[in-house]
Structure 1
Amino acid sequence: MEPWRINLMVLWVGQFLVNAGMTMIVPFIALYLSQDLGVQGEHRIALWSGFIFAANFVTSFIFQPLWGKLSDQYGRKVMLLRSGFGMAIVFTAMGFATQAWHLLALRLLNGTISGFNPAATSLISSSTPKEKMGFAMGISQSGTVAGTILGPLIGGILADTIGFRYIFYITGSCIFLATLLALFLVREKFDRSLAAKMPKVSVLSGLRELSLTPQLPALFTVTLLLQFAMISPMTLMPLYVQKLHGATENLAFWAGLVSAVTGLSNMLTAPFLGKISDKYGAHRVLTFSLIGAALTLIPQAFVQNIGQLLAIRFLMGLCMGGLLPSVNSLIRSYTPDGMESRAFGFNSSTNALGNMTGSVMGGVLAGFIGIEGLFIMSGILLMLNMAWVRSKLYGKPSTERQHKSA
């Protein structure tokens, strides 16, 4: 088997295990605080839950560009191993927390050292032949989404059987196993002597240099707005489902299904749309996926029952399956040689920023415009972003930078 295919398979498993492990406990932080850490009172639990959820994204937003810079200097694999083993230790330590601030501090630390996904994406992109880039990015995305979908389900089953603390130990073990697989099976061709000769620039200087390529800011914004659109209505979704469902019976099941159906269709179509992008151009797949995502977000504000919401969110996932693989493929194409990991690091920062602003601003804006307004606003923002992306990318595939296959 070709080395790039081995890397893709191993890192798919790694991304699945890491994302499944990380999402096993996040939906149940409030219950962990109240049942295991002694936090009492609905208001206090809500405050601590919000701070702890956002903490990971705050430090991740700050530090991802730094890890991207170091990755370009010392190699992608070493950064992946640093992140993987570090997160395994931190998640295991969360199971020993006895106070809420312990969990907050560990989430801040986890965001600081995290970076498995962008490092894996950078490794895959650097070893994959250019003509297979879209397919590889789609497969990679499916592993991430599959782990994110199944993580909460597995976590809910484990919470009822063994308790919350043991979930942290299992999560740490999953991440440790994923990192071991990468240590022994992933191969990277990285010339440190050549990298050492590259000009040394600061993180801010690197951002300014990347910004000179006009396509990259537009691509980073796609990632930010996509995460904002996904996260901003999340906390209010159970209430919206209850309003449509008209009863509290099986409410948790229906709310979980509404969230999971988007990820399921996303996972199914990402590899297929990746192949389409290899044949017809990632710029075209990205444009039409943005249009589809925007047009399926807005109708969610006008559905009359839970069946309609499920159907539209399934369609939205089909469209979103082409977004992140196309973005990653195009970032690789337009980024100057030697700065690939840095570009993926900045993209990971915008991902964290989208999660952070979505979780905070979603609750604030919903008080004024409701969850229906969030759907409409997110759709409009994605449509405006599509116009920006189209002006930079559409019909200009010949300007994409050429890279040698690693």
Structure 2
Amino acid sequence: MTSWKRNLFILVISQFFVISAMTMIIPFLPLFLQELGVNNPETLGIWAGVIFGANFLTAFLFSPFWGRMGDKYGRKMMILRSGFGMAVIISLTAFAIGPISLLLLRLLNGVVSGFIPASIGLVSTNTPKEKVGYALGILQSGSVSGAICGPLIGGVLASNFGYSMVFIITGICIFLATMVVFFFVKEEFTPIKVSEKTSTLAEFKMITEKKPVLSLFLVVFLIQFAIMGVNPLLSLFVEELTTPETVAFYAGVALSVMGFANMITSPVLGKLSDKKGAQHVLIFSMIGVAVFSIPQAFVTDIWQLISLRFMIGLCLGGLLPAVNTLIRMHAPSGMESRTYGFSNSAMYLGTMIGPILGGIVVSNIGVRGLFFVCAIVLFINVGILKTKVMPTANKTFYKQKQKRNKEKILTQ
């Protein structure tokens, strides 16, 4: 097995365990807060929302810094730094004594997080350029499958061992996954001199001067904004379509089928992006998500909703892997990790703002109206892709393809 394939295989398995571990806490976070003494229903909702979002807030702020460190010390070093850091902090969460200590630990976890972005950076920079789309698609499958299994495993463990023990098990899983990366992942990395005097803002200007990087950051933000604007509020819509006793079950099914579909198509669409261009896969996948979002506003049966969520999942497999492929294609040489750092900040920002504005939309025009709003956002994103990304991406893709063809002819 070649080095890049071995790295990919190990990181897919490691990402599965890390994401599974990190999502184990989702089903019982409000219940854990009750155990910590937050019993008022209104206060409980506020604390749960703040604590859930705290992780993304600090991850948004620190992602560019870790991107700079990745270019200076290597992407593998960033994976190890994040993995061991999260293992310790999440294990300590088991000993939280109140909502404030839990909030501080979640903020700290966001500071050291970055296992997945660093993995993307390592795979994209150590994989042959003609295979990057396929590799990132496979990597996404590992993340999505972990996100599907994590809440289920967390629910089972919490019911058998208690909430605190789940945090300890989560920390152990992340620690073991990081140890596997430490021993078996090999990175080809040449240290790059990174000026300590250059500010984050100056680096952002340097990176975004190269077209169409800034537009790709906006695309990442709007994708995450539209998807996360719906997902946390989907159970409210499921409640309209089914009985109170089955809401939790069908809400889980609606999210799970989308994840399974995403997991299935990510490698396929990643391979297609290597052949035809990530920009084409991205734009058609985004149109698909937007088109399948609209009929959801008119469904009258739970299985209609589940079927449409499955179709959306099939299209989602072509979004983030394709964007990350394009970012790798256009990132300034020697600044790949920093470029991904800013991209991840855009993603975290969309993850934070999406549910907030989604809640405002639902309170004013209802859940069904939310599907129209998200479709409009995605169609706007399609417009940005066609006008700001496609012209440059097409030229770059065909230049790289011609270069690879010439290299093949010379080696034969």
Which residue of structure 1 aligns with residue 410 of structure 2? none
- 8 Å contact from structure 2 (residues 234, 251) kept in 1: yes
- 8 Å contact from structure 1 (residues 19, 147) kept in 2: yes
User: Are 1:6 and 2:28 an aligned pair?
Assistant: no
User: Are 1:344 and 2:340 an aligned pair?
Assistant: yes
> 2 CA distance for matches of 1:76 and 1:88?
18
> 2 CA distance for matches of 1:3 and 1:78?
17
> 1 CA distance for matches of 2:152 and 2:196?
47
Report the CA distance between 1:204 and its aligned residue: 1.1
After TM superposition, the structure 1 stretch with the greater mean CA deviation from structure 2, 183-192 or 359-368, is 359-368
Given residue 252 of structure 2, which amino acid in structure 1 is its aligned partner? G
Given residue 209 of structure 1, which amino acid in structure 2 is its aligned partner? M
> 2 CA distance for matches of 1:361 and 1:28?
24
- 8 Å contact from structure 1 (residues 218, 385) kept in 2: no
Given residue 3 of structure 2, which amino acid in structure 1 is its aligned partner? P
User: Are 1:203 and 2:203 an aligned pair?
Assistant: no
> 1 CA distance for matches of 2:292 and 2:264?
17
Which residue of structure 2 aligns with residue 398 of structure 1? 395
Which residue of structure 2 aligns with residue 25 of structure 1? 25
Which residue of structure 1 aligns with residue 294 of structure 2? 298
Given residue 227 of structure 2, which amino acid in structure 1 is its aligned partner? M
Q: Which runs of 5+ in 2 are unaligned?
A: 408-412
Given residue 11 of structure 1, which amino acid in structure 2 is its aligned partner? L
Number of residues paired by the alignment? 401
Q: Give the direction of change, closer, same or farther, for the CA distance of 1:199–1:40 in structure 2 (3 Å limit).
A: closer
> 2 CA distance for matches of 1:314 and 1:21?
24
TM-score where L is the length of structure 2: 0.94
> 2 CA distance for matches of 1:167 and 1:243?
32
- 8 Å contact from structure 2 (residues 20, 149) kept in 1: yes
Which residue of structure 2 aligns with residue 143 of structure 1? 142
Which residue of structure 1 aligns with residue 227 of structure 2? 230
User: Are 1:377 and 2:373 an aligned pair?
Assistant: yes
> 2 CA distance for matches of 1:391 and 1:248?
46
Correspondence 1:237-256 to 2 at 5 A:
237-245=234-242, 247-256=243-252
Correspondence 1:29-178 to 2 at 5 A:
29-34=29-34, 36-178=35-177
> 2 CA distance for matches of 1:168 and 1:199?
37
Report the CA distance between 1:326 and its aligned residue: 0.4
Any idea what the Cα deviations from partners look like across 1:72-131, whole Å, max 9, x if unmatched? 111111111111100000000011111111110000000111111110000001110011
Task: Choose which of 279, 285, 288 in structure 2 pairs with 1:283.
Answer: 279
Any idea what the Cα deviations from partners look like across 1:251-270, whole Å, max 9, x if unmatched? 21111111111111001000
- 8 Å contact from structure 2 (residues 68, 194) kept in 1: no
- 8 Å contact from structure 2 (residues 71, 194) kept in 1: no
Report the CA distance between 1:197 and its aligned residue: 7.0
Task: Choose which of 362, 368, 388 in structure 2 pairs with 1:366.
Answer: 362
Report the CA distance between 1:230 and its aligned residue: 2.2
Any idea what the Cα deviations from partners look like across 1:134-153, whole Å, max 9, x if unmatched? 10010011111111111111
- 8 Å contact from structure 1 (residues 218, 388) kept in 2: yes
Given residue 386 of structure 1, which amino acid in structure 2 is its aligned partner? V
- 8 Å contact from structure 2 (residues 288, 312) kept in 1: yes
Given residue 363 of structure 1, which amino acid in structure 2 is its aligned partner? G
> 2 CA distance for matches of 1:290 and 1:7?
29
Any idea what the Cα deviations from partners look like across 1:185-223, whole Å, max 9, x if unmatched? 11111122xx12779632111111122123112222222
> 2 CA distance for matches of 1:131 and 1:293?
26
Which residue of structure 2 aligns with residue 320 of structure 1? 316
Given residue 234 of structure 1, which amino acid in structure 2 is its aligned partner? N
CA-atom RMSD in angstroms: 1.8
- 8 Å contact from structure 1 (residues 54, 359) kept in 2: no
- 8 Å contact from structure 2 (residues 8, 135) kept in 1: yes
Given residue 213 of structure 2, which amino acid in structure 1 is its aligned partner? L
Query: Alignment identity in percent?
Result: 48
> 1 CA distance for matches of 2:57 and 2:31?
23
Task: Choose which of 249, 258, 267 in structure 1 pairs with 2:254.
Answer: 258
> 1 CA distance for matches of 2:214 and 2:22?
28
Task: Choose which of 212, 215, 235 in structure 2 pairs with 1:215.
Answer: 212
- 8 Å contact from structure 1 (residues 61, 353) kept in 2: yes
Task: Choose which of 350, 355, 366 in structure 1 pairs with 2:351.
Answer: 355
Report the CA distance between 1:375 and its aligned residue: 1.2
SS class of match (1:249): helix
> 2 CA distance for matches of 1:235 and 1:325?
22
Report the CA distance between 1:249 and its aligned residue: 2.5
- 8 Å contact from structure 2 (residues 219, 384) kept in 1: no
